[in-house]
Amino acid sequence: MNSLRIQPAATRRTTARLAVWLHIVAVAAALGAVEPYLPTNAVDSVALLPPPPSIEREEQAADLAAVRAGFKAVSEQERWRAERDAALVPERFAPAIGEWFVMERLPKTAHLLERAKLCARAPVARAKEHWKRPRPYELDARLRFGGKPESTYSYPSGHSTVGTIQALVLAELFPDRREAILAIGRRIGWDRVRTGKHFPSDVYAGRTLGQAIFRALQANPEFQRDLDAAKAEVATAREPASATSR
C-alpha cells in the first residue's frame, strides 16, 4: 500500500497546495524577503527544555510504550493521512478557518507565517544536536513507517514546535476560531507519535518551545507590523467568503 492509493483526490489537492506554497516561498526567497524575525539565539532551547528521558530509565520505557500504543491505535490509512499532512503548509488549518484559506490568495499572511516558521529552525536544531535522542523506530523497528528515515534526532519535535507557532499566529488572525486552530496545532505534533516518528515527550517539548518562540515574536516590532498587515488582508478576503457562505 502507498499514499497514492489512499484518498487520491485529497492527496492531489494537498500536493497542488504544497507546490503553490513552495512557489511562494521560492519567489520571496529570491527577493531576499524570507528571513526569520528573530536572531538564532533569541530562545535558548537547551536552557528552556528539560532533558529527555534517559534510555536506561523507566520513564523512557513508558514513553516508548506510549508510542507503540498510539501507533497501534490508528489504521494504516490514518497513518498515511498523517504522513501526507506532515508537510507544514498553512492550509492544514483550513478545516478550522474555511476552504477559502489558501495561501496564493493571502501573500501577506503567507509571508508572516513563513518568517515565523523559520524562527523555529535554529532552536530546534540546537536542542536536537545537544541531546541526540534516537527516534522511536530506531529503538523498535516495528514503528518504522513511511518514506526515508528522518535525518535529525528526536527531541524536541520540530513539527510540534512549528505547528504550535503556526497555530498561535493564526489564532491571532482568527480569534473566533482559536480553539479549533489550536487543536489542529496540537494534532500536528501528535500525528508524529502515531507514525512512530516521535515520543510524546518530544511533542510536549515542541509545544513548550513553540510557545516560547511565539512570546519572543510578540515582542518583535517587525512581526507585529506584518501581523497587522495580515489581519487587514484576512479581513478583506474573509468578507466575500462569508457572503458566499451565507
Which sequence positions are flagged as catalytic?
Answer: 159, 192, 198, 202
Amino acid at 112: L
* Structural contact between residues 213 and 43, judged by C-beta atoms closer than 8 angstroms: yes
* Structural contact between residues 161 and 114, judged by C-beta atoms closer than 8 angstroms: no
Nearest to 19 by CA among 103, 116, 80: 103
* Structural contact between residues 45 and 124, judged by C-beta atoms closer than 8 angstroms: yes
Nearest to 22 by CA among 104, 124, 122: 104
Q: Three-state DSSP class for 55?
A: coil
Q: How many beta carbons lie within 10 A of that of residue 169, not counting itself?
A: 27
Output Rg (C-alpha) for the chain, integer angstroms. Answer: 18
Q: How many beta carbons lie within 10 A of that of residue 205, not counting itself?
A: 29
Nearest to 165 by CA among 105, 88, 219: 88
The whole-angstrom separation of Cα 165 and Cα 169 is: 6
Q: Three-state DSSP class for 48?
A: helix
151-50-121 Cα angle (round to 5): 40
Amino acid at 105: R
